[in-house]
Structure 1
């Protein structure tokens, strides 16, 4: 934790409103992105991000300074989103998987653009088939590059449970992807002579 972050968190614990504003400004993008990837709806993601910051502010005295602040904050967001998904008991919506920043190529390539958008649509649908906690583990691992130990802390799971969930979720994603793209799976096997996804 940087000295600046430690100073802001100290002020936040003392009830300084400017410190809270600084925390929101600093972390609003990663918190919103996680909520959006979990819930798939911009308005719900915005509400979830606001609730995350409110819960963090209300529970700041419980924050363990030995733990990464962003990991703690994202764990609040992930738990809230998981609860929201369980409450609605409806099929989960697709998640946005487009990178946060897209750098356009020097020349337009409509075919490549179409293929990419089609793959992203399929990937969003495939990811929406995962259980909420499995989806949270995948999002934290591959979009936030958290270690298995950090995911374990964030989701209140053992490290072995995280490994198991990641393995199961990757396997399910591979099977779903292959069912959506049987021709690409077969051609990859021919090229690489491997049944692996």
Structure 2
């Protein structure tokens, strides 16, 4: 689903002018895309819901500071990325402190951590999660933001706080690795 950025910008302006109904509409328009990202990143639907709750709380509290309403989607995604990253690091550290194996081995072995697919696109996303999980963190983030969340290269660079050339390198490397995994699966 493509987002209408101009309409979203108008909603942001209404929110900044204290229209609380506009935030509910903004939430409804953006939730599914952000939830899909969080599920893919965290590999845990329950944790993803927690991440989204924190993401929207932070967005609501800080939306008055957003100077360019047309950048809301990128800004929201940036918040979501940081919340998910922090949650994953905390969970990883907790598991390591408990003496468990690495977080990724535990999550990857549990098929119930994959979100249920309701559309063809979500089915394809579910199938690709196994491949994405094998990618290094930066490549996984770049691939997810570009191809699942349909973000521009510039927005990805801003969210990941890196150069445009780094984003391109992450995408190229990530696609190569994913192609290798898909070819191995077919044989």
Q: Normalising TM by the smaller chain, what interval? A: 0.7 to 0.9
Q: CA RMSD in A?
A: 3.0
Mapped contact 2:35–2:52 kept (Cα < 8 A): yes
Contact 2:10–2:69 (Cα < 8 Å) also in 1: no
- Which residue of 2 is the match for residue 31 of structure 1? 34
Equivalence for 1:68: 71
Which residue of structure 2 lines up, in the alignment, with residue 101 of structure 1?
A: 119
Distance 1:171 1:72, change over 3 A: same
Deviations 1:127-183 (A, max 9, x none): 1122333222111111122221121122222101111111222222233334444x2
Q: Identify unmatched segments of 5+ residues in structure 2.
A: 93-102
User: 104, 115, 120: which one pairs with 1:91?
Assistant: 104
The equivalent position to 1:78 in structure 2, one of 45, 64, 81, is 81
8 Å CA contact retained: 1:40, 1:96: yes
Partner SS, residue 128 of structure 1: helix
In the superposition, the TM-score normalised over structure 2's length comes to 0.74
Report the alpha carbon displacement of residue 83 of structure 1 after superposing the two structures with TM.
2.1
Identify the match of residue 54 of structure 1 among 49, 52, 57. Answer: 57
Residue number in structure 2 paired with 1:166: 171
With over 3 angstroms needed to count, the CA separation of the structure-2 counterparts of 1:134 and 1:23, relative to structure 1, is same
Change (3 A) 1:146 1:180: same
Runs of at least 5 residues in structure 1 that lack an aligned partner in the other structure: 104-115, 184-197
Give the SS at the match of 2:168. helix
Structure with bigger helix share is 2
